[in-house]
Structure 1
Amino acid sequence: MKSPYSLAAAIALWLACVMPLAPVRAATPADQLLVGMNMNNVLTLDPAAATGNDVVPVAANLYDYVVELDPRDVTRVLPAVADRWTIAADRRSIAFKIHPGIRFQSGNPLTADDVAWSLQRTLKVNRALASPWKSYGFTAKNAERLIRAVDPATLVIDLPIAVDPGMVIYTLGTSIGAVVLDRRTVLAHERNGDLGAAWLTTHTAGSGPFALADWKPEDVLTLQRFDGYWRGPAKLRRVVLRHIPESQSLRLMIDRSDVDVALGLSAPDLVALRRDAAVNVQSVAGGSMYYVALSMKDARFADKRVREAIRSLIDYEGINRFVMPGYGVPHQRPVQAGLPASLPDPGYRLDVPKARRLLAEAGYPDGFAVDIRVLADAPFLNIATSLQATLAQAGIRANVLTGTGNQVYGAMRERRFEIVVGRGGGGLEPDPYSNLRALVYNPDNRDAAKLTNFQGWRTAFYDPEINRLFTAAQAASDPTEQTEMYRRVQQRYADVVGPIFPISQTTNTVVLAKRVEGYELSPVWTTHLRSVSKRP
């Protein structure tokens, strides 16, 4: 007969095997910050070519900006590399005084020449990050004349056209293409006149609080503290960003304290973690949009009735209720909410009978077949599958094609797509100009223009009246007059059924371990980690 003690031990062992265990919370090193995120869209580290919001916080900690925007009030501009700045009385010139004594991680001094060259380089490389500067009238040809160092401590930017100088300053604090590069180090790696583009794809040359230690794409990116940082060394010795695209895996890792920061979690996982006393959840409203975009190069979508039918086949309410919590909030206008020029939502809703009538009028009573391009990540894929189901109710047979950022947005940039479910539309600068330039404005609809960072151009949308109003608004010095023109642009875009249909305005949400201190999420994605620390 077995001893009762042996029986009790056997029962305890059986229970340990079958009963769920409480999560074991390990402790990550106190001097390191481990960040879990989806890095599918971190494709290059070259500030002139790195698009997408996910790479912005990386650049913001490797480099310095000329100015910074206050994360608590992004309309407030703070000094950074520039101590102070002055706008000329005629609003056609801005002079910046550069902080003395800043050194790059190479040891080279940072001067106004480096700042001017960095901005000139963005225009000369002429990739997506040149777009905001081109909309202000700058070109590769006029950049050296208009963006110049008067002396080592003074940068002057002359505006080639009448634009709001405040927008230029906002762009200097938000665009990756405006970070300050170590000119001498980059040019030492120039090959065949590429301005260091090949080298900068996987290397950095900054003055930020952290230096690049290692990067394995879609795996891990490691930042090492730069002890010579001009504002004083960062509190953390190292920041490690890990590629964790699956939300459930990321939730498990934050729950077990395998990571300290989790970005890009799905709505159900965020709901669960908000109830977890061991973590903090921060959310801020962003200025860009989740949208459905149509190509007007496609003859079907060149027909206004078909575009309006598609607009009526989006389940705005269902998507925002079940898919978007943690990612975005309901929004149907091209200008972000909360600005003086913002218009109330027009109240678009799923209306299948209306869509069927419009399709029949356009000659498609039985619908048609179409491809939807989308990232294979939440919430994009969830939006696409919802759209696929509602399109089917009007006879439109949609095939969902998933891919990487290059495959989805690359096809959009080349104007070789039918429907894209995406995210974008400017919004980093807290001004209607930012959204409308990105989503609506298209100054040149020719294929040869290659205005790849203008979504209006990508979708082949061209409206002379909108262009006229937009151009007049950006030059207006009277805020009331400017606001009215921006509102008229939005209303006309709705009336002509522009081919980009905003569904939600982005929300940037992060989950933090309780021991993380000093982490302040930026609405414009430039989250600085120099003051972040961890309790032991």
Structure 2
Amino acid sequence: MKCLKLLTTGLLSLLISISSHAQTPSDQLIIGMSMNNLLSLDPAAATGLDVVSINANLYDTLIELDVDNPAQVNPGLAESWEISDDGRTITFKIRSGVQFHSGEPLTAKDVAWSLQRVLKLNLALATTWKTYGFTADNVEQYMRATDDHTFVLELPEATDPQLVVYTLGSSPSAFILDRKTVLEHQEDGDLGHQWLTSNAAGSGAFILNRWRAKELLLMSRNDYYWREPSQLRRVIMRHMNESQSLRLMMERGDIDVAYGMSVPDIEAMRKTANVDIQAVQRGTMYYAAVSMKDPKYAKQKVREAIRSLIDYRGINKSVMQDYGVFHQRPVKLGLEATLPEPGYQLDVEKAKKLLAEAGYPNGFKTSIRVLSETPFINIATNIQSTLAQAGIDASIITGTGNQVYGAMRDRDFEIIVGRGGGGIEPHPYSSLRSLVYNPDNRDEAKLTNFQGWRTGFYSPEINQLIENALVEKDADKQLSMYRDVQRLYDEKVGAIFPISQMVNTVALRSDVQHYRVHPAATTRLREVSKQR
């Protein structure tokens, strides 16, 4: 512990000294980013893209999705895997010689326990596994280690096994934990949840030294990593909210990588010597959503009016450059199942007519919850102005990620401007599960990782079609069913209105080599170096 304190103190001193130099150390990577949404590091509870990119370096997964082609699955902790003929059992062979940061050997028992823990804690990230039929009561039966190097995942219900493999390579819940170390920090049966909020127990290429919320996160190289150890000795992530500060520090060479810059600053960076820009499309959607728990928005005509009061093209043109690309479907771009755009546009007169038919000829008052960050706040203010054109007086309530998305998870909001929808796995079910599917609309179901449940949108017909498509073995029939889901969602006027599909734009110094932004947010730094 004393050595750790000395190391952390040394890192802090180094961080201070970096600010006065024009070039970062050659064996260290300094990343500037907003940490407003970084609330917990626990893989069972860590929602949001920022924490995924951190945990991808502190932990390992059984398999990894290829950075260039996410449909390609590469080995990770699992050397190989085999899917049974009936598609109900996946058997993984766990590689030998891997050890956790604590020095404990990693075995199939750690794999089984890590995944079982997600269901037993029953936090937000358990939701995906529940859709496959896993529960806290059955997970030990269906996820098990048969010996130290064999992990068996048996599916309780028929589903597409390849989708489960994709989940193991992309879900924030799929990181493998050091069972012994975590249990040593267990409090009142919480399976180490409280401790893992700000600590880590992984086997990844980097070791967590310290995380101070909304300030900094320090990682050092794992010299005993089972792959080739990183050329980077340290990674320092600094909380930086101001785009102009990020730009200035990039220009001066005080940081190596910058996330979350505004469009003007990104465009300026494109013209800056020794700075490169990477833009990667993700499956996550920027959207406006209404709560059907609110009597106003439970009326289909009111939802249709809201859908007609969003200036989709205008928002994408004026706000979303370098943040997203125009898209109005719940299934992400690039998949064969994705229908052409429906062509929704701002139509104030249509909206006024719909509101009058719904009993609101003079409009009404409402509120929009949103993060006070670009581009979210910009989208919200744009929608606020177009709602006003139809007599809807919308106040904007800003807050932290926990406050904004917490209200959505509690189903205690009216309108929200947010970002979500999974879409990480290269499969239409991934997007539909996150944005549309809601098998149990009761409050006590707490399907908090489903935006469909959060909004209170519930369609047994759509649910059944999604479930049937998932197990359909005829590819043409399956494709047709996924397209039918999108048509039905349009007809029923779902509670989420996609506006733009996320583009992750990152600025980095030109001497940073092999930095590849991953579409699934699992950006791994083990191969990153600096060419000087």
Instruction: Provide the residue aligned with 1:341 in structure 2.
Output: 337
CA distance in 1 between partners of 2:50 and 2:400 (Å):
14
**Deviation at 1:253?**
1.1
One-letter amino acid of the structure 2 residue matched with residue 47 of structure 1: P
Q: Does 1:266 align with 2:262?
A: yes
Instruction: Provide the residue aligned with 1:241 in structure 2.
Output: 237
Q: Deviations over 1:60-102 (max 9, x none)?
A: 0000011000010000000000011000000001000111110
The structure 2 residue matched to 1:198, chosen from 194, 208, 230, is 194
- Secondary structure at the counterpart of residue 70 of structure 2: strand
Instruction: Provide the residue aligned with 2:306 in structure 1.
Output: 310
CA distance in 2 between partners of 1:313 and 1:25 (Å):
50
One-letter amino acid of the structure 1 residue matched with residue 364 of structure 2: F
Instruction: Provide the residue aligned with 1:129 in structure 2.
Output: 125
- Secondary structure at the counterpart of residue 181 of structure 2: helix
Q: Does 1:527 align with 2:523?
A: yes
- Secondary structure at the counterpart of residue 198 of structure 1: helix
Instruction: Provide the residue aligned with 2:383 in structure 1.
Output: 387
**Deviation at 1:475?**
1.1
The structure 2 residue matched to 1:419, chosen from 415, 419, 427, is 415
The structure 2 residue matched to 1:483, chosen from 479, 484, 488, is 479
**Deviation at 1:277?**
2.5
**Deviation at 1:525?**
0.5
The structure 1 residue matched to 2:506, chosen from 510, 516, 521, is 510
Q: Deviations over 1:162-216 (max 9, x none)?
A: 1100011001011111100000000111111100001111110000000001111
Q: Deviations over 1:31-53 (max 9, x none)?
A: 10000011101101111001011
**Deviation at 1:535?**
2.2
CA distance in 1 between partners of 2:474 and 2:164 (Å):
17
CA distance in 1 between partners of 2:200 and 2:260 (Å):
25
Question: What is the count of residue pairs matched by the alignment?
Answer: 513
Instruction: Provide the residue aligned with 2:271 in structure 1.
Output: 275
Residue pair 1:288, 1:506 contacting (<8 A) in 2 also: yes
CA distance in 2 between partners of 1:159 and 1:87 (Å):
11
Give runs of aligned pairs for residues 38-49 of structure 1, distance below 5 A.
Answer: 38-49=34-45
Q: Does 1:151 align with 2:147?
A: yes
- Secondary structure at the counterpart of residue 94 of structure 1: strand
The structure 2 residue matched to 1:431, chosen from 419, 422, 427, is 427
Q: Deviations over 1:343-395 (max 9, x none)?
A: 11100001111001111111111110001000010000000000000000000
CA distance in 2 between partners of 1:83 and 1:476 (Å):
29
CA distance in 2 between partners of 1:249 and 1:494 (Å):
42
Residue pair 1:25, 1:255 contacting (<8 A) in 2 also: no
One-letter amino acid of the structure 2 residue matched with residue 239 of structure 1: V
**Deviation at 1:135?**
0.7
Instruction: Provide the residue aligned with 2:281 in structure 1.
Output: 285
Instruction: Provide the residue aligned with 1:112 in structure 2.
Output: 108
Residue pair 1:103, 1:230 contacting (<8 A) in 2 also: yes
CA distance in 1 between partners of 2:374 and 2:30 (Å):
22
Q: Does 1:164 align with 2:154?
A: no
CA distance in 2 between partners of 1:531 and 1:88 (Å):
34
Q: Any stretches of 5+ residues in structure 2 without a counterpart?
A: 1-19
CA distance in 1 between partners of 2:444 and 2:484 (Å):
29
Instruction: Provide the residue aligned with 1:50 in structure 2.
Output: 46
The structure 2 residue matched to 1:138, chosen from 134, 157, 164, is 134
CA distance in 1 between partners of 2:507 and 2:489 (Å):
37
TM-score (ref. length: structure 1): 0.95
Residue pair 1:51, 1:128 contacting (<8 A) in 2 also: yes
Instruction: Provide the residue aligned with 1:189 in structure 2.
Output: 185
CA distance in 2 between partners of 1:405 and 1:288 (Å):
16
One-letter amino acid of the structure 1 residue matched with residue 512 of structure 2: V
**Deviation at 1:25?**
8.0
- Secondary structure at the counterpart of residue 74 of structure 1: coil
Instruction: Provide the residue aligned with 1:16 in structure 2.
Output: none
CA distance in 1 between partners of 2:322 and 2:122 (Å):
34
CA distance in 2 between partners of 1:38 and 1:430 (Å):
27
Q: Any stretches of 5+ residues in structure 1 without a counterpart?
A: 1-23
The structure 2 residue matched to 1:94, chosen from 90, 93, 101, is 90
Give runs of aligned pairs for residues 211-226 of structure 1, distance below 5 A.
Answer: 211-226=207-222
One-letter amino acid of the structure 2 residue matched with residue 277 of structure 1: A
- Secondary structure at the counterpart of residue 173 of structure 1: helix
The structure 1 residue matched to 2:327, chosen from 316, 325, 331, is 331
- Secondary structure at the counterpart of residue 258 of structure 1: coil
**Deviation at 1:255?**
1.1
CA distance in 2 between partners of 1:476 and 1:154 (Å):
29
Which sits farther off after the overlay, 491-500 or 470-479? 470-479
**Deviation at 1:276?**
1.6
The structure 1 residue matched to 2:67, chosen from 57, 64, 71, is 71
The structure 2 residue matched to 1:360, chosen from 356, 361, 364, is 356
CA distance in 2 between partners of 1:480 and 1:114 (Å):
40
Instruction: Provide the residue aligned with 1:253 in structure 2.
Output: 249
**Deviation at 1:504?**
0.2
Instruction: Provide the residue aligned with 2:7 in structure 1.
Output: none
State the superposition RMSD in angstroms: 0.9
Instruction: Provide the residue aligned with 1:444 in structure 2.
Output: 440
**Deviation at 1:423?**
0.1
The structure 2 residue matched to 1:403, chosen from 381, 399, 402, is 399
CA distance in 1 between partners of 2:407 and 2:46 (Å):
17
Structure ID, larger Rg:
1
TM-score (ref. length: structure 2): 0.96
- Secondary structure at the counterpart of residue 128 of structure 1: coil
